[in-house]
A and B are shown apart, each in its own frame.
Chain A
Amino acid sequence: MDITTDTQKPTPSPAPGPTGPGDQRAARGATRPGDRIFLGLSRGSGILVLVIMAAIAAFLTYRAILAISKDEANFFTTFEWNPSGVPAEFGIAVLAFGTIVSSIIAMVIAVPIAVGIALFITHYAPRRLGGPIAYVIDLLAAVPSIVYGLWGALVLVPHLNGLYGWLDQYLGWTGILEWNGGAPRSLFTVGILLAIMILPIITNVSREVFRQVPRMHEEAALALGATRWEVIRMSVIPFGRSGVISASMLGLGRALGETMAVAMVLSPTFDISPSLLDPGGGTFAQNIASKFNEATVMGQDALIASGLVLFVITLAVNGAARMIIARRKEYSGANA
């Protein structure tokens, strides 16, 4: 009896397999244990990411609601950060401005340089030179941000007076680049430092994309009598455009969230000055880092609320990048 049930049991189990629920793959053949384990692992990882994402969002939202409900001032427009005061008044306007402006400055500086370096490595430099340059840039990506912060505070800041004077002389009339002689611990300096920090990631990703441009696209341009620059303009850059956008968004994500380096360079104030060269301002991450340790529970909640805004901004930036890439899809190299 025991033997018959034992032998009977395994025989029906492969039979329902092919018709089993939700597994059409099995119809093509028996599933192997390796496949099942791998499927489980990859599906599990996918779900885990979503769960972590949701947990973070839920935590931020819950604590943020606690804080915002006690905020006596407008959370979005107030130039004030006093969550523990009576009445509690705090707003993110200054932080949002500082974060976005310093990141934009970083992008404006870093993206063209990074694309230039990537093109140089892939299309201009002799192989003997391109390899080492790429390696050095990889190394730059490995430098911890605290080291960039130290360098920024001790080397970059004291050497910026010349640049600030020059900007003031030629572009001071715009108002946003007017310099009143204050210490160059401004959003502009933060932007420069962030640009240096995000340069490696943008360069590396762009380099990989440019390297993958199919030879036949380049030859198409060459055979029409294109010079090297024209080949790059006609074949390489269009093919790499969406990759460069993705690379820039990776860099932007880092710039938006950068904490220590910003905190070490900026002299924070809670206002927005008309000139980018005036010391002062703040960013979300810098504000959290510098206030969190001494914050009351209410203060922590307020900081978490600002963190939620940063989270939303980062998501929005990523979404925008995906939209830009998707809109150009039918013209991308992928369907060539």
Chain B
Amino acid sequence: MAKRIDVSGLNAYYSSFLAIEDISMTVEPRSVTAFIGPSGCGKSTFLRTLNRMHEVTPGGRVDGKVMLDDENLYGAGIDPVAVRREVGMVFQRPNPFPTMSVYDNVAAGLRLNGKYKKSQLDDVVEKSLRGANLWNEVKDRLNKPGSGLSGGQQQRLCIARAIAVEPNVLLMDEPCSALDPISTLAIEDLIGELKERFTIVIVTHNMQQAARVSDRTAFFNLAAVGQPGKLIEIDDTERIFSNPSVQATEDYISGRFG
């Protein structure tokens, strides 16, 4: 199921403002790629171009190519809605549907995609919740509102919701930044398990987290405020954190700026 992402010459704009410029990279299937960089460098914007969420923002537009295996997400006749069914996303703040139960939250994506029998839904909900390491905690309150769970549980519920539709890629936009250390650890362990099945891209402000969870790390930077963000380098995580090839990367990860 997991697919390769191949980005080439990608620019993203907010109206006339160029937010990220000329990004090219490849993300291998069944791997975790972390995006790091200072605030405002465009890493979240770039992440949102990978499932066409960027253009949901008023004035947001993109040019360039994002290939998912051999399909260009920005090709003519591609429906953004269909793209988002293939590329799942988890957000910075846990955002379960507040009016839905735990069960309905997980089943929400499936119900969008078509009709399922109750037994089929039951199976997928259990499998997804198990996949998100949440099943044991919520199996007795599947019909309680999802917003009644703790923050860490809510975030794992959102992950379960995202993986329930079996996407090819899972995007995570700072998924732990609103969570306590124990919940963070739970999510990080989960990321390690999920990469067996999905291509995962994660934005993080926490460099230790990037070092812990990712196989590859991409460092983004911007020359100055008001300038577009750029990809400085992407390499194996081990190499980025021990012996990066660009001086700016080393300065950033050793805490000399940002």
Contacts and interface: CB of A to CB of B under 8 A. Distances in A.
Interface residues of A, number: 25
Interface string A210-243: 0000101101111111110010001100110100
Contact of B98 (A223, A225, A238): A238
Contact of B56 (A219, A328, A330, A335): A219
A331 interface: yes
B229 interface: no
Given A220-B91, A224-B85, A226-B81, A336 B98 contact: yes
B100 to A, nearest CB: 8
Given A230-B112, A234-B108, A223 B97 contact: no
A221 B97 contact: yes
Contact of A225 (B82, B91, B147, B158): B82
B248 interface: no
B51 interface: yes
By size class, the interface of chain B is 20 to 34
A224 B98 contact: no
B88 interface: yes
B197 interface: no
Contact of A224 (B56, B99, B109): B109
A332 B98 contact: yes
Contact of B84 (A216, A217, A225, A333): A225
A177 to B, nearest CB: 36
Given A219-B91, A225-B109, A227-B81, A335 B147 contact: yes
Contacts, number: 82
Contacts of A224: 84-85, 88, 108-109, 112, 161-162, 165
B255 to A, nearest CB: 31
B113 interface: yes
A220 B94 CA distance: 9
A238 B99 CA distance: 6
A225 B85 CA distance: 5
Interface in B103-159: 108-109, 112-113, 145, 147-148, 158
A223 B53 contact: yes
Contacts of B84: 222-226
B53 A217 contact: no
B145 A222 contact: no
26 contacts: A214-B95, A216-B95, A217-B95, A217-B97, A217-B98, A219-B91, A219-B95, A220-B158, A221-B108, A222-B53, A223-B51, A223-B53, A223-B84, A224-B108, A224-B112, A225-B82, A225-B112, A227-B81, A234-B97, A234-B108, A235-B97, A238-B100, A239-B99, A330-B148, A332-B98, A336-B147
A241 B99 CA distance: 10
A176 B88 CA distance: 52
A147 B165 CA distance: 56
B203 interface: no
- Among B82, B91, B95, B165, the one with the most A-chain Cβ atoms within 10 Å of its Cβ is B95
A126 to B, nearest CB: 10
Contacts of A219: 53, 56, 91, 95
A328 B147 CA distance: 13
B96 interface: yes
Given A225-B165, A328-B99, A331-B147, 9 more contacts: A217-B97, A223-B51, A225-B81, A225-B82, A225-B113, A226-B84, A238-B100, A239-B98, A330-B148
Contacts of B158: 220
Nearest to A217: B95
A331 B145 CA distance: 6
A238 B98 CA distance: 8
B89 interface: yes
- Among A221, A224, A227, the one with the most B-chain Cβ atoms within 10 Å of its Cβ is A224
A215 B51 CA distance: 17
A106 B25 CA distance: 59
A223 B162 contact: yes
A328 B109 CA distance: 23
Interface in A40-58: none
A237 to B, nearest CB: 9
Contacts of A336: 95-96, 98, 147
B96 to A, nearest CB: 7
Interface string B45-74: 000000101001000000000000000000
A241 B83 CA distance: 30
A331 B148 CA distance: 9
